[in-house]
Chain A
């Protein structure tokens, strides 16, 4: 299948006429094209390619135009610009819910969506197909002589005990830039006060702010930073080449679990093919298991295995932190804690 793929990456460049910022654009042409799926997604193209090639094997004739953007740019593209996309795949569950709630998503029902548990779909518009934990990624070198922290409290202790080692070498999402980072931070803050204490400590040590998980993982591996907090576990898990240099730790006090979701935007032109793609995503995630694809599928067993896993619930509650005033207050508080003059 890879023979059909011609990849062209336009990193951090905008196509003419598109007002939103595109990080990567990959085309998966079809031999006898009948449909074209324009996909806007937050998932890195190389992580998502296996899904698309498997889909094209089953649906020859469907070309896929894959745009990688940040989660907030999906909102810009769909809500503000009214761009035409057939699928929106995002890790920012709150923004996906908002799109559906505001009427910018089309309903879709099929046998596959019907098989999803109640908590993995919302309004027959938003469908979850992965569950990915927010983890701490630690550098093996820097934690060689320190007990590995298993909880946030232990991380706070480790940071406080070795301020010189970690000063300027902690990374986390810039919640002002990253929708997923904001989602993780707000859920952390909602779940436990420990988050704010950790933020204070991190802020005091001049934490580096990032826009994506991949950069944090690579920086931990390269030794540029020693601790990355709230990194997507799924991204870290697939970087097997780095596993000898990093620890991936799901905090045992609680691990926030994000569900990657897909929806069909209201102005989709090929919603029928988009529906087939959703079916494919759900079926793959449910039946293939974690081995073959980068994204672990949703199984109820995975949730009950570990009581500290706290999946973020799909629902109107996610709209709360998108409130203008609420967001402003949260960011003010976050900045006060995290961005301290060094």
Chain B
């Protein structure tokens, strides 16, 4: 995988990039040191070969018309080394062998009188040779003396092998150190990112304060954008809540006024057909008022469920209060609203949401059960949950698809003629889910009536 192709993780990408860089640097370092060492090794051998040839040439004299070569002992001992390289030499006069190894080649001299060097294969081994030339006069005739000294390159290979080992170690050491730094760099970069992520995810649902985590300068634009997003979100939420409150006020109040006027008018009108119309109108107003209330309840539930704020909620006073409040409505239909409770049940939850849920369930029971039947409300503990059970003796739920009734605006097929929006069960269900509880609806076995159970986990 080409490491510069963005992989999924910044840390991985950064680490890979740094590692690649380190590898390239280590390789370059290795090549430079090795070629440098190789060059120095070759140069030092050339220098010694050249010195050896020079010392032989210096010992070459003309004695009574003959070339005399008195090779100094040091000419060859200076070539001695730790791995005992083989030594070859050849001295020629005008190309004819004077002494030494007659088949030893000489290095081609291009120009001047400086030493010439060459690498040749001689007797099956690679040989570095140096050739020096001097012109001498023998009895007035110029003659040319060539001295070639050659040496195998084992010592150089040995030194090179050692340098190679050392350089490889150096390269690996460099790479290892760089790799460690790369991993640390990747980790620290990723750490500052994850610190930010943690500081954002750790906040509570209602916490919409700006993020103030310490971040590197490169990440400041991100934090700024994040804070600006939070600010806009916060403003939008506030606006929505304001709108809901405003809408509740604006819709309910005029409807109540209209209904009051309708009631007054109904009392004054005696003509039967007008009274029928007015009753229809009042009924429609009730329906609208109730639908508006439930819509607002539902909006509130959705909003609050998204950012659930848990606090201890005592269910007994909450349910008792609602039962008391709805008792007058129930008594209009001559219904007996009974509340039984054995002990206090406390759950963690949002008071307003639970109130909404319970009120809607009670409201449903009162609305759909026939007059002069009792409604039993009980609060019990079942396992790790508190369960509110509401039983009526009404028409019950349709035999098919009881669960589908918790869907938005869904109404039972047997509920025609009763005012309702179909949002009551939906609201209760959403509240139950938000709290990690359940809402179950069923018909009472062997008898008329429905049974609704709202279960919430205990504190």
Q: Which residues of A contact B (CB under 8 A)?
A: 100-103, 118, 122-124, 190, 313, 315-320, 323-326, 329
Contacts and interface: CB of A to CB of B under 8 A. Distances in A.
A316 B68 contact: no
B372 to A, nearest CB: 117
Interface residues of B, number: 26
A91 B87 CA distance: 21
Contacts of A329: 68, 70
A323 B100 contact: yes
Contacts of B79: 316
B71 A326 contact: yes
Nearest to B101: A102
A123 B91 CA distance: 25
B69 A325 contact: yes
B98 A118 contact: no
B91 to A, nearest CB: 8
A315 B84 contact: yes
A103 B124 contact: yes
B195 interface: no
24 contacts: A101-B87, A101-B88, A103-B86, A118-B82, A122-B84, A123-B83, A123-B85, A190-B73, A313-B77, A315-B76, A315-B84, A316-B79, A316-B85, A316-B87, A319-B76, A320-B71, A320-B72, A320-B76, A324-B99, A324-B100, A325-B69, A325-B71, A329-B68, A329-B70
A322 B84 CA distance: 18
Nearest to A315: B80
A319 B104 CA distance: 16
A103 B123 contact: yes
A320 B56 CA distance: 10
B347 interface: no
Interface string B56-83: 0000000000001111111111011011
B306 to A, nearest CB: 83
A256 to B, nearest CB: 14
A310 B301 CA distance: 110
Which has the most chain B C-beta neighbours within 10 Å: A123, A124, A313, A323?
Answer: A323
A102 B84 contact: no
Contact of A320 (B73, B85, B88): B73
Nearest to A123: B84
Contacts of A123: 83-86
Interface string B97-128: 01110000000000000000000000111000
Q: Which of A123, A313, A316, A329 has the most CB of B within 10 A?
A: A316
A34 B70 CA distance: 50
Nearest to B125: A103
Contacts of B98: 325
A316 B79 CA distance: 7
Contacts of A100: 86
A326 B100 CA distance: 10
A323 B77 contact: no
A264 to B, nearest CB: 16
Contacts of B84: 122-124, 315
A102 B123 contact: yes
A101 B127 CA distance: 13
A315 B75 CA distance: 12
A319 B86 CA distance: 11
Contacts of B83: 123
Contacts of B88: 101
Contacts of A325: 68-71, 91, 98-99
Nearest to A102: B123
A231 to B, nearest CB: 24
A318 B84 CA distance: 13
A248 B125 CA distance: 46
B146 to A, nearest CB: 15
Contacts of A324: 99-100
A325 to B, nearest CB: 5
Given A101-B87, A123-B83, A325-B99, A316 B69 contact: no
A36 B99 CA distance: 39
A326 B69 contact: yes
A324 to B, nearest CB: 4
A323 B87 contact: no
B147 to A, nearest CB: 12
A155 B44 CA distance: 46
A11 to B, nearest CB: 36
Residue among B71, B85, B123, B125 with max Cβ neighbours from chain A (10 Å): B71
A332 to B, nearest CB: 11
Given A123-B85, A317-B74, 9 more contacts: A100-B86, A101-B86, A101-B87, A101-B88, A317-B73, A317-B76, A325-B71, A325-B99, A329-B68
Contact of B77 (A102, A118, A122, A317): A317
Nearest to A330: B70
Of B68, B76, B100, B123, most buried by chain A (CB within 10 Å of CB) is: B76
B73 to A, nearest CB: 5
B97 to A, nearest CB: 9
Given A101-B86, A123-B84, A320 B99 contact: no
A323 B101 CA distance: 9
Nearest to A126: B84
Contacts of A315: 76-77, 80, 84
A325 B125 CA distance: 26
Given A103-B123, A123-B86, A326 B80 contact: no
Contacts of B77: 313, 315-317
A206 B432 CA distance: 135
Contacts of B75: 320
A175 to B, nearest CB: 17
Which residue, A122, A190, A315, A317, has most C-beta atoms of chain B within 10 A?
Answer: A317
B454 to A, nearest CB: 92
A191 to B, nearest CB: 10
A324 B68 CA distance: 11
